[in-house]
Amino acid sequence: MAINLKELSKKPVPLSPGHRACAGCGSIIAIKLVLMAAEEPVVCTCATGCMEVVTTIYPYTAWRVPFMHNAFENSAATMSGIETAYRALRKQGRIDREIRFIAFGGDGGTYDIGLQALSGAMERGHDFLYVCYNNEAYMNTGIQRSGSTPMCAATSTSPVGKESIGKRQYAKDLTKIMVAHGIPYAAQASPHRWMDLMEKVRKALRIRGPKFINVISSCHRGWRVPMHTSLDVCKTAVETCHWPLFEVEDGAWRLNYKPKRKAPITEWFGTQKRFAHLTKPENAKVVEEIQAGVDRRWSELLHLCGEEGG
């Protein structure tokens, strides 16, 4: 299962340079790592969003694998049809090689608009991996809040002002929702721990049935961070336990990383201007509430994974 760096260095990169993603984009890094991890030929779909726009502006494409662009809401549904056709063709003897299938979608097209299609594909048991590149808002269309946007984050539709402190709701826990479907594999990952991400992808692609990996993916425009800190801010999300790394295989929960020092959530807030308003003294109570929520969810995860508290 371990990644062989020597072999990896010889592998052609399935996503070409020259795309139009922002420098330091966490999502493009995540997708490149996912594709590099695949050992068999892959077919990919990608929902309309940042990654589709920057990689496939006509007449060019950065994808060096078979690729299908689909609507915002149906990456999982499109891949369901492709995977079903593949199984039929194999049964007929018209395809004689192993092919793996990976559907990509941002958090807007996964948590919200595409949730119905994703849930249906998971429930039906289609054999593909769904990867959510999670930059925590609708970045492609103007940085609007999504079901993945953290509480109190400033977005264009949850602005900060006299009457608002940003988004008022906690983010939806989509990874747990996917686990509740009874699928054989689900996980959370971060591009800054690239080997962990790639090993999870390889494990998922070896398992038959529906799989889901949720990858936190920094966005310098939406998170308002310098481009060169892209992976650093993902690391801080993990160190504060805002974004814990774990996997659930056949119902068994496993923690993949436990910080030696669980950093306070204020350290993550301090890396991004979308949370700048939370440094004001009048918002101290709100920060305490958010920290309590992080602590509660972390304790629940430790319990599910059979880990000691901390």
Q: What domain count does the chain have?
A: 1
In the numeric block, which tokens belong to residue 264? Answer: 């306070």
Q: What is the DSSP string of 224-293?
A: T--GGGHHHHHHHHHHTTSS--EEEETTEEEE----SS---HHHHHTT-GGGGGGGSGGGHHHHHHHHHH
For residue 234, give the nearest of 47, 1, 30, 50 by alpha carbon: 30
| pLDDT tens per residue across span 215-274 | 999 999 999 999 999 999 999 999 999 999 999 999 999 999 999 999 999 999 999 999
Across the range 131-160, mean pLDDT stands at 97
Q: Does the bond joining 244 to the residue before it have cis omega, within 30 degrees of 0?
A: no
Mean pLDDT of the chain: 96
Instruction: Please tell me the distance from the alpha carbon of residue 38 to that of residue 102, in angstroms, as a whole number.
Output: 10
pLDDT score for 158: 97
Whether this prediction's pTM lies above 0.85 is answered by yes
d(C-alpha 210, C-alpha 309), whole Å: 31
**Quick check: 11 and 33 in contact, CB under 8 A?**
no
- How many H-runs (helices) and E-runs (strands) does the chain carry? 12, 10
Give me the pLDDT at residue 154, please.
98
Instruction: Return the pLDDT at 310.
Output: 60
What per-residue confidence (pLDDT) applies to 133? Answer: 98
More confident position, 46 or 2: 46
Is 153 a member of any domain?
yes
pLDDT > 70 fraction of the chain, expressed in percent and rounded = 99
Segment 47-85, tens digit of pLDDT: 999 999 999 998 999 999 999 999 999 999 999 999 999
Dist. CA 214–CA 106, nearest whole Å: 10
In a domain, 1, yes or no: no
Task: Tell me how many degrees the CA angle 283-287-293 measures, rounded to the nearest 5.
Answer: 145
pLDDT of 308 reads 76
Residue 309 has pLDDT above 70, yes or no: no
What pLDDT sits at residue 1? 58
pLDDT at 22: 95
Structure confidence at residue 106 (pLDDT): 98
Helical residues (DSSP H) of 46-181, grouped into ranges:
50-55, 75-91, 107, 115-124, 174-179
The pLDDT of residue 2 is 77
CATH number at residue 229: 3.40.50.970
Is the distance from CB of 127 to CB of 86 less than 8 angstroms? no
- Asked, for residue 234, whether it belongs to a domain, the answer is yes
> Has residue 294 got a pLDDT over 70?
yes
Report the distance separating Cα 32 and Cα 301, nearest Å.
29
Q: Taking 90 as the threshold, does the pLDDT of residue 16 lie above it?
A: yes
- Would 31 be classed as within a structural domain? yes
Asked whether residue 171 is assigned to any structural domain, the reply reads: yes
- The whole-angstrom separation of Cα 109 and Cα 122 is 15
Domain, as residue range, for 160: 11-304
